[in-house]
Amino acid sequence: MKKLFLLLFIVPLLTGCAELQQIADSLPQEGTGVTNTEVAAGLRQALDFGIEKQVTKLAQEDGFFSNELVRIYLPPELQKVDRTLRDLGMSSLADEGLKVLNRAAEDAVKEATPIFVDAVKQITFTDARNILLGDDTAATSYLQQKTTDPLYTRFNPVITNSLDRVGATQIWTNIINRYNALPLTTDVNPDLADYVTKEALDGVYTMIAVEEKEIRNNFASRTTNLLQRVFALQD
């Protein structure tokens, strides 16, 4: 304690306010034995693990389509198309339409990691404390706030190109034209690339939230000493 008072007395003579705040922030928090620097590092590590484990899975073939939590279904305007096609015995055509949407999302997710890494690096001491003591998905919410716009910008052209490359545009033109030709139906023509982009983003944040909840609530998932010490503060 005497060393702490001495430090706080001498430091103002040597540094400005910003430097003093940085030193104060790095001092051990009373009663915890965990510094703000460690808290921030622990949050970054947890997010890095979530990104590496969950986002990587989504980028694999069937990463979206085989995962019920994030599988991309038809937009509301086209769900009646799906039902109608299946009722008419054209389930294989409807299934193919779903698969190409999910394939496009899988292609786009490969663009996500660098943006997430940059956002994780920007976590401040204040961010870290608030995130740690927040709800079960506070870290995911932080990422969502920081990355949604840049991810959309990166995802959308990839998804557009992917839909074109695998013939999704032709597939959906065929589906929609056949549906629109049916009697007593209202023509539909949604922006599929925009829809799939938003669904892909939702899927990414959903899976990162899964990993965050696991680390927060399951001690066995805190696989490093740093994670154990930091997340013990919120237990």
Of 70, 50, 52, 235, the C-alpha closest to 141 is: 50
- What confidence tens digit (pLDDT) does each residue in 64-99 have? 999 999 999 887 767 877 888 888 888 887 788 788
Closest CA to 46 of 110, 120, 146: 120
Which pLDDT value is given to residue 25? 45
Within 51-167, residue ranges assigned H as helices are 56-58, 76-87, 91-109, 112-121, 125-132, 138-165
Nearest to 141 by CA among 223, 41, 212: 212
| Residue whose tokens read 């990104």 | 51
* Percentage, residues of the chain above pLDDT 70: 84
Residue ranges in the chain modelled with pLDDT below 50: 1-31
- Cross-strand bridge partners of residue 35: 28
pLDDT at 214: 92
